[in-house]
């Protein structure tokens, strides 16, 4: 079998011009080289060098193998470099899972600076998971989960990265637009627009309507934040979104945030990752960056 060692020998003998010199640069004795060559030549059934006096001259087979060496060895050497980077957490693909629809806007603000700091790390964002975000984390489909629901489990670590207030969004000319805050009863004749996820994961239900045994008149689901807010601006319904997100859209659309309940609906976004990965530099660095991003 032609081994990497053999390719190194071909290259070294060619580079250094003699067995003795090649042995030196390979940190071997000349004898060891001679034995190794003899063995390879016997295996291949052909000589690789012509011994012409004390000169070595490559045969055609030798030339061929030398060119192979010059092609393959750099690839192997590069691979070791790259794997070293993997090992030191300087390279990889950071696969982020999102369980929080509006967080996409937030994520973009983190990813930008991150990519600059980690030129060898690629970022990939996934939004659909067969067994939920936690399952995807366990199943190694993703490396990091952005979620408002930190389901603590052994082997997983969650850290809050930012706090915000979930608010009701209404159009600028909506009767509720000027209210200090709304109570569940205020929305009994309204159409509520949400992302298409299970009701249990919608805080406006779990923390606002359900405790008061109330509910909106209608419930529609829409995939994208943009369209959702277009609908709200057009007076076709109300929605519940992060306050900072509404603030951003308020510059372009006639939408207004209104506090949900007297105390408001405080929320937190968590980043989750596998406990084992906590020490991985490029994941850790993402966490730190995420905590630093601030909002007006």
Partner DNA sequence: AATATTCCATGAAATAAATTCACGAACTGG
Partner DNA sequence: CCAGTTCGTGAATTTATTTCATGGAATATT
Residue 56 binds which of a second copy, DNA, none (CB < 5-8 A, kind-dependent): DNA
CB of 23 to a second copy, least distance (A): 17
Backbone torsions φ then ψ of 271, nearest 5 degrees:
-105, 130
45 binds DNA (CB under 7 A): no
Closer by beta carbon to DNA, 36 or else 161: 36
CA distance 260 to 240: 9
Residue 58 burial by CB count (10 A; 0-12/13-18/19+): exposed, middle or buried? middle
Which neighbouring-strand residues pair with 242?
A: 166
CA distance 128 to 282: 23
Stretch 95-134 residues interacting with DNA (CB under 7 A): none
- Tell me how many residues contact DNA (CB under 7 A): 24
Residue 119 binds which of DNA, a second copy, none (CB < 5-8 A, kind-dependent): none
Stretch 5-24 residues interacting with DNA (CB under 7 A): 5, 18-21
Closer by beta carbon to a second copy, 46 or else 221: 46
Q: Write the DSSP assignment of 76-145 as a string of letters.
A: HHHHHHHHHHHHTTSSEEEEEEE--TTHHHHHHHHHHHHHHH-TTEEEEEE---TTHHHHHHHTTS-SEE
Choose which of 4, 15, 25, 35 interacts with DNA (CB under 7 A): 35
3-state secondary structure of 13: helix
Q: What is the DSSP secondary structure assignment for residue 49, as one 8-state letter?
A: E
Residue 15 binds which of DNA, a second copy, none (CB < 5-8 A, kind-dependent): none
Query: What is the binding site for a second copy (CB under 8 A)?
Result: 1-5, 44-46, 50, 52, 57, 59-61, 64-65, 68, 71-72, 75-76, 79-80, 82-84, 86-88, 92-93, 140
Residue 207 burial by CB count (10 A; 0-12/13-18/19+): exposed, middle or buried? middle
71 binds DNA (CB under 7 A): no
Closer by beta carbon to a second copy, 140 or else 252: 140
Residue 83 binds which of a second copy, DNA, none (CB < 5-8 A, kind-dependent): a second copy
CB of 128 to DNA, least distance (A): 24
Q: What separation in angstroms does the CA of 12 have from each of 5, 21, 42, 94?
A: 10, 8, 20, 39
CB of 49 to DNA, least distance (A): 7
Choose which of 51, 128, 189, 213 interacts with DNA (CB under 7 A): 51
CB of 90 to a second copy, least distance (A): 11
Choose which of 25, 31, 93, 288 interacts with DNA (CB under 7 A): 31
Strands (E), 172-282: 181-182, 191-194, 218-221, 238-242, 255-260, 265-274
Joined together, the tokens standing for residue 19 give 């067995």
Q: What is the DSSP secondary structure assignment for residue 205, as one 8-state letter?
A: I
137 binds DNA (CB under 7 A): no
Residues that bind DNA (CB under 7 A): 3, 5, 18-21, 27-32, 34-39, 49, 51, 53-56
């Amino acid at each position: 079998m032609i081994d990497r060692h053999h390719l190194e020998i071909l290259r070294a003998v060619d580079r250094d011009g003699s067995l003795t010199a090649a042995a030196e640069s390979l940190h071997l004795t000349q004898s060891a080289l001679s034995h190794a060559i003899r063995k390879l030549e016997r295996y291949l059934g052909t000589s690789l060098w012509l011994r012409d006096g004390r000169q070595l001259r490559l045969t055609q087979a030798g030339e061929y193998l030398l060119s192979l060496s010059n092609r393959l060895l750099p690839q192997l050497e590069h691979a070791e470099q790259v794997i070293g980077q993997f090992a030191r957490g300087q390279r990889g693909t950071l696969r982020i899972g999102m369980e929080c629809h509006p967080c996409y806007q937030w994520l973009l603000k983190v990813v930008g600076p991150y990519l600059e700091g980690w030129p060898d790390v690629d970022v990939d964002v996934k939004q659909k998971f067969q067994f939920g975000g936690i399952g995807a984390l366990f199943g190694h489909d993703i490396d990091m989960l952005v979620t408002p629901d930190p389901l603590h489990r052994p082997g997983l670590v969650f850290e809050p990265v930012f706090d915000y207030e979930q608010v009701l969004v209404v159009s600028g000319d909506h009767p509720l637009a000027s209210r200090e805050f709304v109570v569940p009863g205020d929305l009994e004749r309204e159409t509520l627009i949400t992302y298409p996820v299970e009701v249990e994961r919608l805080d406006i239900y779990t923390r606002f309507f359900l405790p008061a045994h109330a509910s909106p008149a209608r419930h529609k689901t829409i995939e994208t934040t943009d369209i959702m807010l277009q609908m709200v601006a057009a007076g076709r319904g109300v929605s519940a979104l992060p306050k900072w997100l509404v603030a951003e859209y308020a510059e372009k659309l006639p939408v207004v945030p209104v506090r949900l309940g007297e105390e408001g609906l405080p929320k937190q976004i968590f980043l989750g990752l596998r406990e084992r990965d906590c020490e991985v530099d490029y994941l850790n660095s993402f966490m730190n960056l995420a905590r630093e991003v601030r909002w007006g």
